[in-house]
Chain A
């Protein structure tokens, strides 16, 4: 996508005489030699590793008693050694993708071994401990080998651990489930920086969002909706405004931080719409939601397609919700949309005036 888009732009610039054809050719060649190129061979190799990991875990889970369990246990431990040493050997010989695939299998084998031990002695109710140990091993391997494949596995195990902690709490506030999920998210974020793969940070953001929603389900308090909406908007401003100190850090991750900040604000709006479903309260909640979406478009809509798409979705969802539940009466709802339309038209007028003035200033500047 990105590559094709840039090449189209290059061709356009050459056509309009803005760029010498030779430079465009060199730029496009540089684009083709990038390391992060998509390779179907590599994708298939990682898929093969993931499927084999699943096969291994399911084999343990099947508890096939034709093979004595001591043999199964020995086999799993042998696999741990083969996969880790084999993976290291491939790294040594400059084949990091094959190395990462084997390390991923090694990490899966360790999880299989822990499960087998639990199965052998009929251990009940220690899922949290088991997943903690497994996560520790995955983080250690991913960290030492800087492997983003194993980091993905760590992200998935962290989800399992987070879920098992929240599940074990029986829907009660405890220090553990207030503190541990953010810590897990921070751990995955650090891991994502360390293995230099920004995609893994999304595990972290998504985990925080799930946790935020879980907190709401505990109490169903409308205050949380207000807090999430405000916090999401504040975070969005923090990562988008160029004056903010975290903007450069977030900029390195593209539109991802802005997208998840808006998703948090959207979660807040959703909670407000769930809690307030009639009359004045619904109108205030809907207006607040629309303002948040418009604010997000103003802050980050120009640079990030994902934020744009999410803001439009939030607007569509609010309109649909208000349409279906109606504010008092159908006539009242009609009045609400008339007001919204007038406000949007006035804003459009003001903003286009501002944009023209900025464009004029920019044209004068050089």
Chain B
């Protein structure tokens, strides 16, 4: 039993410690997201879905947002070049039909302003500014996990412009999906936990 060192004397204590750490890690992830949903500012976004599968989290619908394409004309401030991932700040505000649109974006932090929300996203590739190509921004809300097999139903029900997403955004700019809507109605009940 000597081979197991510390474990030989207090195996249950060590096991409980490990289990407590693991539980805490899971609950931390859960609560950090639940708090965004509880306190965040609600925004409504236009999307177009397709559906693949994740090995660990199962079927999901890929959501590509209108606000993910940002024209260079809306980007203010410095312009980092290169293939490296870059953090970007995007200010959005409600437009027609209650859908939120991009007002401006910047690689530097944006100050808060009344009636708008600042989202934090990442750009995986920053093209040369002079090319005028749109920036592709990921916000960490590009997947909607659904019960097995139901992704296809959403896909078949999909008709350009019928699916939208209600998300909540924390003060730090982190977005979390609150509900997936078809024709403006939520598809799934989304309890906080």
Contact B19 A115 (CB under 8 A): no
Q: How far is the CB of A153 from chain B (nearest CB, A)?
A: 13
Contact B148 A62 (CB under 8 A): yes
**Complex CA distance for A313 and B191, rounded to whole angstroms:** 59
State which size class the interface on B falls in.
35 or more
Q: How far is the CB of B83 from chain A (nearest CB, A)?
A: 4
Interface check A304, CB cutoff 8 A: no
Contact A124 B176 (CB under 8 A): no
Question: Mask for A129-173, Cβ within 8 A of B = 1, else 0?
Answer: 010010001001100111000000000000000000000001010
State which size class the interface on A falls in.
35 or more
Interface check A91, CB cutoff 8 A: yes
Interface check A37, CB cutoff 8 A: no
Contact A121 B30 (CB under 8 A): yes
Interface check B133, CB cutoff 8 A: no
Contact A146 B56 (CB under 8 A): no
**Complex CA distance for A69 and B60, rounded to whole angstroms:** 16
Segment at the B interface, from A105-113, A184-192, A219-227, A269-277: A105-113
Interface check A117, CB cutoff 8 A: yes
Q: Could you say which residues of chain A place their CB within 8 Å of the CB of B1?
A: 94
Interface centre among B19, B37, B146, B193 (most CB of A within 10 A): B19
25 contacts between A and B (CB under 8 A): A60-B57, A61-B55, A63-B146, A63-B147, A65-B147, A68-B191, A73-B193, A76-B26, A81-B19, A84-B18, A88-B16, A114-B25, A115-B57, A117-B26, A117-B29, A117-B33, A120-B30, A122-B60, A122-B177, A125-B138, A130-B56, A140-B21, A141-B18, A145-B4, A172-B83
The 9 closest A-B pairs by CB, nearest first: A88-B15, A121-B33, A61-B58, A88-B11, A124-B143, A113-B26, A117-B29, A84-B15, A115-B56
